[in-house]
Structures are given as structure tokens and as C-alpha cells.
């Protein structure tokens, strides 16, 4: 049974300076499913998400207490390898965050910082000004980095749109494409878990639909945890839902039950649109 | 109201233009290949040129750039990326901003005390480079801080979330993106340093040398000081024309530096944004 859960959280508490923003959160998030975290602004759902890859603590005023286990390993131990943890737990942010680099370099970024040498480095220095490699060359390349970049872009349903401009800046892509690029960049390091913090809040409905389809497809391979403001989105894509209110997780369960017969009155009011 | 602003703007710009025109009128006749390429002739200034002063000023500019840009940029990097927000940081930034307002001759005295005397570098090109580097540091640091703070916080988080270390994040994402803007600050500061007269008189510039500086320990000639002497203290009847012509060369070098800086920045930015 234990293997059915990727993420186990016990009594997680978080403070910003003296203000407690997460209170005694305990939850088990199932493996290979999409879990949506819903709740009003300021309910703590993003804070919770950001505690799962320990990106939360980059803010120096944050204090964290409690237990988080990923694949059975406690991640808040002094011996935890942060780099390894963050490779295992990918993250996509609210607004797209492409780096001011080419599309190819963006997707290859995680590999590069992990020490994978790019194919180009084997070229002698005087060839750096030579013609950039074509989409075909990269697609058929045997190089590890090329393969990962191509596969990640394909997995993120972006390859066809960008294959002929892999060397142009990622900042030239549309918002929706940039967000899918960020998903490609996150899965290029082959994580087990993908955290998404309101990934569609800055996007138009068509781009949103593309991302939702993509997430449904990716849920075969990855455990996905997505924070969303959009109840319809939660309904469309999630298997499980956690409802947050004022720093507490009020209810966690299968999506259908949360929407149809929630146990808590607050949940019922929230999914019924009485507040939020 | 809008119109009066417009006239003030045009008036200011035309003053600049008038300066250049007057310099041309005064010194245009002196400009020649000989003027640019020959050593200074002390007795009959018509026989020589200002070549050593041009070279001196270029060495000075190069030296200042090589020292003040890296030191200033790294200081800005430390202040923005490593130092915790707090009183000490605000205090340091306040001090740096104020250092930019200190008169240049004070930097000259500082250089005289520290580099010439205390470190024993003597009146030399090295002392002048170090003095002007210290003088330009506040501008470079301020420009670097502004460039670094303008970058989105989300880049730093996204990079860390991909398993990059802090140093990898700085090296691969933050530094390349901040360099173009910082460089502009560095080049503007450098152009000003090359035009400074007061500090270099104190630490190593001379009016007349028979040879170019061979090493950093040598004294050197420099354009701004040359203009100053020609305009105020030289007995030759052509001194005025020579001063104007020398000033024209100095302005041209300054503009040239700025132009190189702007194109470099444009190129780097284009490369960044694709």
C-alpha cells in the first residue's frame, strides 16, 4: 500500500516571521495522479506547494516545521541533498519563467547545471560561427543532451511549433508556449513529481486548454500537484483535491466526492461558489 | 508649458553643439595627421603633435575599465545577491551613492596619499589608473545594482528549482543578463574618468615627456591636462588653437568610447533576447 503514495506530509507548519500561514497539514498524495490544491487567495496552497521542493526557504523570513516524505525519504533532514531533491521534484511557476536564452538552451538548462556536456563542446573552437544545427540534425542526433531536449519538447507538445527556431530566444514565444517550454524544461531533468503553481492564471483559454491536455497526458508518467484558482480546471483534470482555508487543509479526497458530497461545510460553500 | 520645456531642451542641446563649433573654429586649422601622430615638440609646438597624450589617455581608459568594471560589478553582485536586507546594506548603498558625489580632486589627494606615497607606486600611470578606478567605482557599483535588481526574481527561483546551485544560477542566468546594463554604466563612468584633469595632475600626469610610458611605473601625458596647460600657461601664440584642437580629440575619444559601449550593449542585449 505504501507505494501508492509519492508524497507524505505530517504536521507541516509554516510561519512568515511571526505569522503562521500553514497549520498542521497532514496529507498523503497518491502516485501517478493529478492532485489539485484549491482555496481562496492567502489560504496557504502555494506556500504548501513551495514547501515540497524546499524552494520556500529561499525566502529568509520563513520558518518550517514538520515532516515531508518523498518516495519514503524525509526531505527536511540536515543530510538532504537539495540539488537532488529539486531534480526529483520539478516546478512550474505562475507566470512563465523562460530564461533569456535560446529555446534549446532553456530545455537543456537542468542537464547543463547537472554537469552534462553539450554536443557542441566537441566542435573545435573555430567552428563556433558555423551554421547552427537544423531541427533534423538535432532530432536524429545520438547525443544524450539532444535526445533529452527533443523528447522533452515532444512530451510538452511543443516540438512541432518550435523545431525550426530552437536557436532563437525563448522570450519570443507566446505566453502559452513559454509555459509549455517551462514544463519541457522541468521534465528534461526527469523528475518524479511535477509541481505547478497556478500555471494557467496568466494564459488565455486556448493556451489553458492545451496545458490541461498536456497535464492529463503527463499524469501517466509523473505525479502532478497543481495549485489552481479555477474550480472548473480542478474538476476537469484532477483525480484528487485538497481544499485549503486560512492555512489549514480542510478536506482532501477524490475530486468527485469533493465536488458532489464534501464532508465539510466550508468545502461545500467554496465549491458551491459562496466565497473565494 | 509643453513648449517652454521643448525650448529649454533645444537650448541645452544647442549649447553642446556651440561648444563643438567653437572648438572647431579655434582649433580646426591645427588638426592634421602630424598633430595626431607626432611626439610633442616643446620649443616650437607647430613641429610636434599630441600623440603621447592620446596614448596616455587611452592607456588610462583601458586600465580603469579593466579594474573598475570587474571590481564594481562583483561588489554590486555581492550587495544584491548575497547580502541580507537590513540596516548594514542600506547604509553601505547610501555610502556608495554619496561617494559618487565627492569632488574628483579629493580622489586625487586620496590617491596621492594611498597609492603614490603609502604603497610607493610613485607618480605614475599605475597610481593614476588606481585613483581613477576608485573614483569611478561608485558609478559602476550603482549601475550594477540597478541592473541586477531589475532582473525578475522568478529567474532565480526557476533556476534553483531545476537543481542549479546559487552560483550556477548567478553564472548562467543572472550575470549574463545583468552585464549589458552594468557595462553601460561602466563605460559612461570610464568616459568621464578619461576627461578628468584634477586627480591625474596630483598622481602622475605631466605636460611634457620625450617618450611614451614603457611601463605602469612611468609618468605619462594625458589629453585633459594637456588642454589645461595649453589654455592657461603656455607662451606660444598658437597655444589657444592647440588647446582647442586637443579638446576636440578628447571629445571625439569620449564619444567614441560611448559609441562602442552602446553598440556592445546593443549587441549583448540582442543576443540575449534573440
Q: A185 in a domain, yes or no?
A: no
Q: A169 and chain B: CB distance < 8 Å anywhere? A: yes
Among B136, B160, B139, B138, CA closest to B81: B160
The verdict on A259 and A197 lying in the same domain is yes
The verdict on A25 and A162 lying in the same domain is no
Q: Shortest Cα distance from B269 to chain A (angstroms)?
A: 10
Q: What are the E-state strand segments in chain A?
A: 5-16, 19-30, 34-39, 62-70, 73-74, 89-92, 193-197, 223-227, 240-245, 248-254
What is the spatial distance between Cα B112 and Cα B120, in angstroms, rounded to a whole number? Answer: 10
Domains of chain B, CATH where assigned: 26-273 (1.10.3720.10)
pLDDT at A1: 42
Contact at CB, A55 and B177, closer than 8 angstroms: no
Domain that holds residue A166: 99-124+132-172
Q: A184 in a domain, yes or no?
A: no
Q: A180 in a domain, yes or no?
A: no
The verdict on A104 and A34 lying in the same domain is no
Q: Are A145 and A187 in contact, with CB atoms under 8 Å apart?
A: no
CATH number at residue A29: 3.40.50.300
A52-67 average pLDDT score: 93
Q: A187 in a domain, yes or no?
A: no
Contact at CB, A97 and B155, closer than 8 angstroms: yes
Q: Name the burial class of residue B65, with classes exposed (0-12), middle (13-18) and buried (19+) by CB atoms within 10 angstroms of its CB.
A: buried
Q: A182 in a domain, yes or no?
A: no
pLDDT at A2: 46
pLDDT at B270: 79
Torsion (CA) A196, A202, A205, A211 in degrees, nearest 10: -30
Q: Are A141 and A147 in contact, with CB atoms under 8 Å apart?
A: yes
Q: Count of residues for chain A?
A: 276
Query: Residue A245 pLDDT more than 70?
Result: yes
65-94 of A, contacting B, C-beta below 8 A? 83-84, 86-87, 90-91, 93
Among A110, A104, A272, CA closest to A188: A110
| CA closest to B162 among chain A residues | A110
Taking CB atoms and an 8 Å cutoff, what residues of chain A touch B172? 99, 109, 112-113
pLDDT interval class at A37 (50, 70, 90): very high
The verdict on A201 and A255 lying in the same domain is yes
The verdict on A42 and A163 lying in the same domain is no
B196 grid coordinates: 578628468
CA A231 to chain centre: 18
Q: Are A39 and A25 in contact, with CB atoms under 8 Å apart?
A: no
The verdict on A206 and A162 lying in the same domain is no
A55-72 average pLDDT score: 92
Contact at CB, B157 and A90, closer than 8 angstroms: no
A70-90 average pLDDT score: 93
Taking CB atoms and an 8 Å cutoff, what residues of chain B touch A186? 161-162
Contact at CB, A114 and B177, closer than 8 angstroms: no
CA A4 to chain centre: 20
Q: Name the burial class of residue B272, with classes exposed (0-12), middle (13-18) and buried (19+) by CB atoms within 10 angstroms of its CB.
A: middle
List the strands of the sheet with A19-30, edge to edge: A19-30, A5-16, A62-70, A73-74
Half-sphere exposure of residue A158: CA atoms within 13 angstroms, side-chain side:
29
Q: A150 in a domain, yes or no?
A: yes
Among A146, A173, A150, A147, CA closest to A163: A150
pLDDT interval class at A202 (50, 70, 90): confident
The verdict on A13 and A88 lying in the same domain is yes
Among A212, A263, A239, A184, CA closest to A37: A239
The verdict on A8 and A91 lying in the same domain is yes
The verdict on A19 and A77 lying in the same domain is yes
Contact at CB, A86 and B163, closer than 8 angstroms: yes
Chain segment A115-134, per-residue pLDDT in tens: 888 765 556 666 666 567 88
Q: A238 in a domain, yes or no?
A: yes
The verdict on A91 and A115 lying in the same domain is no
Chain segment A129-145, per-residue pLDDT in tens: 656 788 888 888 888 99
The verdict on A38 and A75 lying in the same domain is yes
DSSP conformation class of B152: -
Sign of dihedral through CA atoms B126, B64, B78, B88?
A: positive
pLDDT at A121: 52
| CA closest to B269 among chain A residues | A100
Domains identified in chain A, total number: 2
Q: Are A218 and A187 in contact, with CB atoms under 8 Å apart?
A: yes
Query: Residue A224 pLDDT more than 80?
Result: yes
Q: A186 in a domain, yes or no?
A: no
A244-250 average pLDDT score: 94
pLDDT at B48: 85
What is the spatial distance between Cα B82 and Cα B95, in angstroms, rounded to a whole number? Answer: 18
A3-14 average pLDDT score: 88
The verdict on A8 and A82 lying in the same domain is yes
What is the 3-class SS of B61-121, one letter each residue? HHHHHHHHHHHHHHHHHHHHHHCCCCHHHHHHHHHHHHHCCCCHHHHHHHHHHHHHHHCCC
- For chain B, list residues with pLDDT below 50: none
Amino acid at each position: 500500500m505504501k507505494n501508492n503514495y509519492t508524497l507524505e506530509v505530517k504536521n507541516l507548519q509554516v510561519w512568515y516571521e511571526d505569522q503562521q500561514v500553514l497549520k498542521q497539514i497532514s496529507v498523503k498524495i497518491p502516485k501517478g495522479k493529478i492532485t489539485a490544491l484549491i482555496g481562496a487567495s492567502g489560504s496557504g496552497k502555494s506556500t504548501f506547494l513551495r514547501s515540497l521542493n524546499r524552494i520556500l526557504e529561499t525566502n529568509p523570513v520563513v520558518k518550517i516545521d514538520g515532516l515531508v516524505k518523498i518516495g519514503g525519504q524525509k526531505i527536511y533532514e540536515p543530510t538532504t541533498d537539495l540539488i537532488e531533491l529539486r531534480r526529483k521534484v520539478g516546478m512550474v511557476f505562475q507566470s512563465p519563467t523562460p530564461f533569456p536564452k535560446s529555446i534549446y538552451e532553456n530545455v537543456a538548462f537542468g542537464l547543463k547545471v547537472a554537469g552534462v556536456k553539450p554536443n557542441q563542446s566537441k566542435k573545435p573552437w573555430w567552428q563556433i560561427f558555423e551554421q547552427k544545427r537544423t531541427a533534423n540534425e538535432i532530432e536524429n542526433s545520438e547525443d544524450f543532451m539532444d535526445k533529452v531536449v527533443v523528447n522533452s519538447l515532444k512530451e510538452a507538445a511543443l516540438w512541432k511549433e518550435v523545431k525550426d527556431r530552437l536557436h532563437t530566444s525563448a522570450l519570443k514565444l507566446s505566453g502559452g508556449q513559454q509555459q509549455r517550454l517551462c514544463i519541457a524544461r522541468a521534465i528534461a531533468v526527469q523528475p518524479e513529481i511535477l509541481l505547478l503553481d497556478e500555471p494557467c492564471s496568466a494564459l488565455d483559454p486556448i493556451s489553458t486548454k492545451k496545458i490541461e491536455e498536456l497535464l492529463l497526458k503527463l499524469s501517466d508518467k509523473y505525479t502532478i500537484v497543481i495549485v489552481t484558482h479555477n474550480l472548473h480546471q480542478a474538476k476537469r483534470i484532477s483525480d484528487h483535491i485538497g481544499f485549503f482555508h486560512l492555512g489549514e487543509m480542510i478536506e482532501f479526497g477524490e475530486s468527485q466526492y469533493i465536488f458532489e458530497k464534501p464532508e465539510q461545510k466550508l468545502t461545500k460553500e467554496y465549491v458551491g461558489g459562496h466565497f473565494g | 508649458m509643453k513648449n517652454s520645456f521643448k525650448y529649454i531642451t533645444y537650448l541645452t542641446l544647442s549649447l553642446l553643439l556651440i561648444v563643438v563649433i567653437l572648438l572647431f573654429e579655434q582649433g580646426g586649422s591645427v588638426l592634421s595627421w602630424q598633430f595626431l601622430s607626432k611626439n610633442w615638440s616643446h620649443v616650437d609646438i607647430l613641429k610636434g603633435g599630441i600623440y603621447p597624450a592620446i596614448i596616455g589617455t587611452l592607456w588610462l581608459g583601458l586600465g580603469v575599465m579593466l579594474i573598475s568594471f570587474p571590481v564594481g560589478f562583483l561588489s554590486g553582485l555581492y550587495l544584491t545577491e548575497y547580502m541580507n536586507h537590513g540596516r548594514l546594506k542600506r547604509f553601505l548603498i547610501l555610502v556608495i551613492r554619496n561617494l559618487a558625489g565627492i569632488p574628483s580632486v579629493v580622489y586625487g589627494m586620496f590617491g596621492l596619499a594611498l597609492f603614490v606615497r603609502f604603497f610607493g607606486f610613485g607618480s605614475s600611470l599605475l597610481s593614476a589608473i588606481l585613483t581613477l578606478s576608485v573614483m569611478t567605482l561608485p558609478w559602476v557599483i550603482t549601475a550594477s545594482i540597478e541592473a541586477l535588481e531589475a532582473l525578475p526574481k522568478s529567474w532565480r527561483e526557476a533556476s534553483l528549482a531545476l537543481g542549479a546551485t546559487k552560483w550556477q544560477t548567478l553564472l548562467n542566468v543572472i550575470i549574463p543578463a545583468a552585464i549589458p546594463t552594468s557595462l553601460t554604466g561602466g563605460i559612461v563612468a570610464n568616459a568621464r574618468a578619461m576627461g578628468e584633469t584634477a586627480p591625474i595632475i596630483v598622481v602622475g600626469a605631466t605636460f611634457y615627456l620625450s617618450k611614451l610610458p614603457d611601463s605602469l611605473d612611468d609618468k605619462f601625458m594625458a589629453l585633459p591636462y594637456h588642454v589645461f596647460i595649453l589654455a592657461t600657461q603656455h607662451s606660444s601664440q598658437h597655444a589657444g588653437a592647440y588647446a582647442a584642437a586637443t579638446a576636440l580629440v578628447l571629445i571625439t575619444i569620449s564619444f567614441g568610447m560611448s559609441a562602442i559601449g552602446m553598440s556592445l550593449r546593443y549587441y549583448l542585449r540582442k543576443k540575449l533576447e534573440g
